[in-house]
A and B are shown apart, each in its own frame.
Chain A
Amino acid sequence: MLNQKIKVRDLKLWYGKFEALHGVDLDIYENEITAFIGPSGCGKSTLIKTLNRMNDLVENCRIEGSVELDGKNIYSKKVELNELRKRVGMVFQQPNPFPKSIYDNIAFGPRTHGIKKKNELDEIVEKSLRQAAIWDEVKDHLDRNALSISGGQQQRICIARALAVEPDVLLMDEPTSALDPISTAKIEELVMELKEDYTIVMVTHNMQQASRISDRTAFFLNGDIIEQDMTRQLFTNPKEEQTDNYISGRFG
């Protein structure tokens, strides 16, 4: 019943000589929200970036091990990067819309992938904005510059932009840490709706956020995954003492 979407095996990653991940195993399941938690510099963001090969852009970054998406290694030479990133979209900590109109932000991906017809693009823009729960707020001024709206709205524009190319997986690297509580609540609500159709992986520094919305949680520490389990299990009765200490704030 549970379909395994991503399978990470013995993944090691170096930035130059620094080993940031020490052989990590991780399983991510379809239509679930998987949260990565752990202190700063423990490898959460590093790992999430390997899931759509964003690390390719980092100089001196080298990896060993495998990341499989639907059973196929994404680091194999046969993999087309554009195709991979179409299937595995990403949303970042700081809302980063392009300095273009709202419409063009959403249409950017589909255009890159060859969709030219106006009515088709219109449809995709509306659908994506609706999915990102921001259509009603922006539908009357799609020509406005995306940078002119609030941070919370910008982040939902970025989510809509990621959804416009119909990915399977949505990676979110601290998507609410730059937002106020109301915008955060909106994004959380949205993410929980999106898991019906997507597989979501989220890095968060906010443990309450992980506990509130995720199905599974992986706890990272110093480049290792100490524990991964169902969130309800991990937050009520973790197996590892280090996990317990971290989530109950007794760390250090």
Chain B
Amino acid sequence: MRRVYEEELNKLHSQFFQMGNRVNEAIYKSIKAFVNHDKELAKSVIEEDIKINDMEHQLEQGCIELIALQQPVTADLRKIITVMKASADLERMGDHAVSISKSTIRVKGNKRNKAIEDQISLAGEKIKKMGQDIVDAYIDYDSHKAEQIALRDEEIDTLAMAIKTASIDEMRRDPELVLGATDYILVSTYIERMGDYITNISEWILYFETGEIQELNTHHDYKQLGV
């Protein structure tokens, strides 16, 4: 019985890995398309997202069946909960890659700003690396690594804030940039959100090991907003 259960669980595990790779690829492509003004590549990201969503549904279905048919407890149950919750976070990351791609398709032809796009490119590089690392940490159930990855969310937040500030400055200087720079702000927000989902996945990896649901990187301190 254990054998059957473990086979099923391993199947979910490898599905998660495959889904994670696809999402990371989508993130990479969406940002590449954005900074290269590559409308075709952006379209392909949107089309690929259907597959990512299918993969998530399959994973969820697999989890539901395992729970219903095998009645797992303790670590077995936590594994299923972890993969179910983490895959939902992955799926949302994929949705943000779609949003970035839609921006790409929309802004083509508007005036651009190379310096800000370079920053977006940098943030994209970082988020993609974090995405790959979190999938690896998940596969190894490496909670220490997961915590380290979550700490890197700070860098993403800082970069996203810098992109926003720069965009607003440039809009002030050159109103022709307003359309394009609005998308810079949107894209920086999408990247920032991806970082939050990666943090969530870190939390689920920790949950699997400790059995405790805990928050990493809370952003409930409104004093830094200067109010």
Contacts and interface: CB of A to CB of B under 8 A. Distances in A.
Interface string B52-69: 000000000000110011
Contact of A236 (B1, B3, B64, B71): B64
B70 A232 contact: no
B68 A212 contact: no
A86 to B, nearest CB: 30
A248 to B, nearest CB: 10
For the complex, would chain A's binding face be called helix, strand, loop or mixed by DSSP majority?
Answer: helix
Contacts of A189: 1, 3
Contacts of A231: 69
Interface residues of A, number: 12
A82 B158 CA distance: 82
B77 to A, nearest CB: 15
B4 interface: yes
Contact of B65 (A185, A188, A236): A236
Nearest to B67: A236
Given A189-B3, A192-B4, A208 B71 contact: yes
Q: Is the interface of B mostly helix, strand, loop or mixed?
A: helix
Interface in B61-104: 64-65, 68-71
A191 B1 CA distance: 10
A63 interface: no
B72 to A, nearest CB: 11
Interface string A171-210: 0000000000000010011001000000000000000100
A213 interface: yes
B194 to A, nearest CB: 32
A211 B1 contact: no
B1 A188 contact: yes
Listed from nearest, the 5 A-B pairs whose CB atoms lie closest are A211-B69, A236-B68, A235-B68, A232-B65, A188-B1
10 contacts: A188-B1, A192-B4, A211-B68, A211-B69, A212-B4, A213-B4, A232-B65, A235-B68, A236-B64, A236-B69
Given A192-B1, A213-B4, 10 more contacts: A188-B1, A189-B1, A192-B4, A211-B71, A213-B1, A231-B69, A232-B65, A235-B68, A235-B69, A236-B68
Interface of A: 185, 188-189, 192, 208, 211-213, 231-232, 235-236
